[in-house]
Amino acid sequence: MTSAAYRRSAMKYCPKCNQRYSGAQRFCRTDGTALLSDLYHHGDEELDTHPTLEMPNALFHKTQEQTVEIGDPGDSAGISEIDESGKDGLTDLEPFGEADCESELKVMGSSEYSKYYFDHTRFNREALSPKVFLIIGRRGAGKTALSQFFSFQQLMPNVTTIEVDEPAAFQQLMSKMAESAASTREVAIPRLVKIWDFVIWSTIFWQLQDKNPRIKAACLAFDQNENVSTFIRHVLKTLVSEFLQPDNDLANELEDFISNERTQRAKKAVLEVVKGNKVIIALDTMENYAVRDESMMRSMGALIQCASRFNRDYARHGIYLKVFIMAEIFPYLKEEVSLNPLKFIHDEIYLQWRPKDLMRLISWRYDRYLKENGLMISTTGQVDWDNHHDVLKEKWEPYWGKKLQTRQGLLEETFPYVLRHTQLRPRQLIVLCNSVAKHAQDGETFPKFGLESIIEGIQRAEKRLAEEVMNSYSSVYPGAARIAEALSGLPLIFKGNELDKRAPQTASQWPAGEYSSYAFRQFVSELGIVGRVRNVSEKTGIVEADFEYAGDSRISLLVTDMCVIHPMFYKKLNIRMTKNLCVYPFPDHEEFKFEASPA
């Protein structure tokens, strides 16, 4: 491969941050800068990246009167520059990209990532709507990538983006504040809403402090070179140290502090500075939340309520708050935590991908990789990336073929075959396709993928995908993997009452008082392991089934329902293939409702 030419015994270093790497590395994993050869190894030196902060009794900046116009949105927070003399880092990526956005950013840098990002999807435009403040997606659905999109999008001009992309840095402190807010949900959440509002405005002041002296006067005096999440952590530490009482209650003075006159003047100054421009605050959340952690869930419920009010009050002034929430915990927030779902949860976007969008996304990524490495197969002409038929014909089928014969003897089209082993999430599709590509590279058929590479590559990866889904629910259902084992050995298709027969085997794996046959049915549905059959075609062998992950509401599995296991879990759960059937878990998408047939 091309990247092999870059392997050297000498060390390399980043000219911006001085971090050192092995000779095989080409770009800094922190900011994407092209690395330079380091002829003199200086050992394992550590840089001081956390300068001493000012003491809490000197929290605010003292400023002189001067006003600065808001700058070019092109230099907004979150976009790091890359040395244009270097390559764009695509040769350092897997053929279909990395499995997570963070890894791609570290390899490529934000500037080059913006060129690699596939922006021909409906979520991009929808997420920019002033009405939208809540974006919901399961792990691997593209939440972090979409939050990055705000930094380089071209649909909305004159935008400054503030990205809060490392929530783990401060979420535990917010949870500590939640523990101290009050004993009842009805009292605690309104107090936490005020704290979130203060945190968000403090972050805006911190980012825009050079634009107006009134903003700087209200800005907590922390180093402006820190990342946003670290700054928020310092803000919360200050609030905890100043206002948390020995009896673990928040002092009444907290509300006076977060609504003082200096803060109100700074808010007015921000509105003046932003006039004619836009500000987007993109707040990503952690990938695992324990739904039984009452303080954590209250904190998240308060964040949603705060975001709703914030957008109501300030979206018309061009300041937008976009909060990304895990779909795995969202039903619990909506059903059990929110004080008023109808009032505070509205205009939300669910990151539910359509098959045609995933096909265009994965083909775009492979196309970029092949071009960078000089491996393109000539096609008939230009490709319209907004036309999935065009992309299928010109960018998918030349490498994957049109049809394949499965080990069950069915003749299927290649893209539906690959896709039905996912839960319609980009990360899962990327992992599967990279596994197929590795098999093809080992077998020297790359960049084309033969029958053996496709089937073997998917089988090698699907168990990892199943385990990842179970892991993503481990905070919602402790022992999720062990509970799922009760399904081992089931046939591919079965009647719903079989779930009640298997449920008692899991009783010891549930937290005290939480086991029931209903809870077990909800568990297998929520994880997308079991779906409800919609239609079975004896002629084609295709089973169309509905799975909960594809919608925005729960699917209740009844004892009278005909059920199927999702293909992703066949290997993990040792499912018995008793019939020559093929499960298609995307029945509402006619464009990929291909007919399988016996070979």
Q: What is the pLDDT of residues 460-506, one digit of tens each?
A: 999 999 999 999 998 889 999 999 999 999 999 999 999 999 999 99
Residues 6+ apart with CB under 8 A from 473: 328, 480, 526, 527
Cα(565)–Cα(467) distance, rounded to whole angstroms?
15
Query: Confidence band (pLDDT; 50, 70, 90) for 400?
Result: very high
Q: Up-side HSE of residue 330: CA atoms within 13 Å toward CB?
A: 25
pLDDT of residue 75: 42
Nearest residue to 286 (alpha-carbon basis) of 166, 396, 191: 166
Tokens 């935008």 sit on residue: 159
Tell me the CB-side half-sphere exposure of residue 515, using CA atoms within 13 A. Answer: 15
- What integer is the mean pLDDT of 314-318? 95
Percent of the chain with pLDDT over 90: 54
Confidence of residue 408 (pLDDT cuts 50, 70, 90): confident
The secondary element (H helix, E strand) that includes residue 423 is none
Segment 425-447 shows an average pLDDT of 94
Any idea what the Cα angle at residue 301 is, between residues 265 and 255, rounded to 5°? Answer: 35
Helices (H), 212-327: 213-218, 228-243, 253-257, 261-274, 294-314
Its sign, for the CA torsion 371, 374, 376, 381, is positive
pLDDT of residue 82: 38
d(CA 580, CA 125): 42
124-150 confidence digits (pLDDT tens) = 999 999 999 999 999 999 999 999 999
Of 536, 543, 532, nearest in space to 582 by CA: 543
Predicted local distance difference test score (pLDDT) of residue 74: 42
Beta strands in 139-195 (DSSP E): 159-164
**Minimum mean pLDDT range among 48-52, 88-92, 145-149, 201-205:** 48-52
Residue 450, token pair as written in the block: 């033969």
Task: Give me the half-sphere count of Cα atoms (radius 13 Å) on the Cβ side of residue 91.
Answer: 18
Would you call 499 helix, strand, or coil by DSSP? Answer: helix
Cα separation, 162 vs 153, in Å, equals 14
Torsion of CA 81, 83, 84, 85, to 10 degrees: 180
Report the range out of 209-223, 440-454, 578-592 with the highest average pLDDT.
440-454
Compute the average pLDDT of residues 162-175.
82
When mean pLDDT is compared across 11-20, 56-65, 407-416, 448-457, the lowest value belongs to 56-65
Are 177 and 33 contacting, i.e. CB atoms less than 8 angstroms apart? no
Whether residue 71 is predicted with pLDDT greater than 60 in this model: the reply is no
pLDDT at 592: 57
- pLDDT level of residue 180 (50, 70, 90 thresholds): confident
Structural element, H or E, at residue 542: strand 542-546
Residues 284-311: what's their mean pLDDT? Answer: 88
Q: What is the pLDDT of residue 19?
A: 54
What pLDDT does 95 receive?
94
Q: What is the mean pLDDT of residues 23-44?
A: 52
Q: Which residues contact 300 (CB under 8 A, 6 or more apart)?
A: 285, 289, 325, 329, 333, 337
Three-state secondary-structure class, residue 36 = strand
**What are phi and psi for residue 392, nearest 5 degrees?**
-60, -45
pLDDT in tens, 243-293: 777 766 777 787 787 788 888 999 999 999 999 899 999 998 777 777 888
Task: State residue 34's pLDDT score.
Answer: 63
- The confidence band for 539, taking pLDDT boundaries of 50, 70 and 90, is confident
pLDDT at residue 520, as a whole number: 97
Comparison of pLDDT for 167 and 90, the residue scoring more? 167
| pLDDT above 60: residue 54 | no
Report the pLDDT averaged over residues 351-372: 94
Question: pLDDT value at position 589?
Answer: 64
Query: Given this model, what pLDDT does residue 13 score?
Result: 60
The yes-or-no verdict on residue 6 having pLDDT over 70 is no
More confident residue, 542 or 67: 542
Position 83 confidence tier, pLDDT thresholds 50, 70, 90: very low
DSSP 491: B
What is the structure's pLDDT at 436? 97
Summary mean pLDDT of the chain: 83
Query: What is the pLDDT, as a whole number, of residue 93?
Result: 86
Question: 370-390 pLDDT, tens per residue?
Answer: 998 888 887 667 889 999 999
Residue 68 has pLDDT above 50, yes or no: no
pLDDT of residue 323: 96
Q: Quick one: which of 78, 85, 113 has its CA closest to 98?
A: 113
Nearest by Cα to 343 from 387, 312, 374: 312
Tokens standing for 457?
A: 């590559």
* Phi, psi torsion values for 590, nearest 5 degrees: -60, -30
pLDDT of the residue at 380: 66
Residue 79: band (very low, low, confident or very high) from pLDDT cuts 50, 70, 90: very low
- What's the pLDDT tens digit per position in 577-590? 877 888 999 887 66
**Sheet of strand 410-413, all strands in order from the earlier edge strand to the far edge:** 403-405, 410-413, 597-598
Contact between 547 and 531 (Cβ < 8 Å): yes
SS3 annotation, 313-364: HHHHHCEEEEEEEECCCHHHHHHHHCCCHHHHCCCCEECCCCHHHHHHHHHH
What average pLDDT score do residues 441-467 get? 94
Arithmetic mean of pLDDT, 22-31: 52
Q: How far is CA 483 from CA 477, 486, 505, 510, 542, in A?
A: 9, 6, 8, 8, 29
When computed from its CA atoms, the radius of gyration of the chain, rounded to whole angstroms, is 26
Contact 552, 534 (CB under 8 A): no
The Cα 145–Cα 110 span in angstroms is 11
Closest residue by Cα to residue 173 from 296, 298, 322: 296
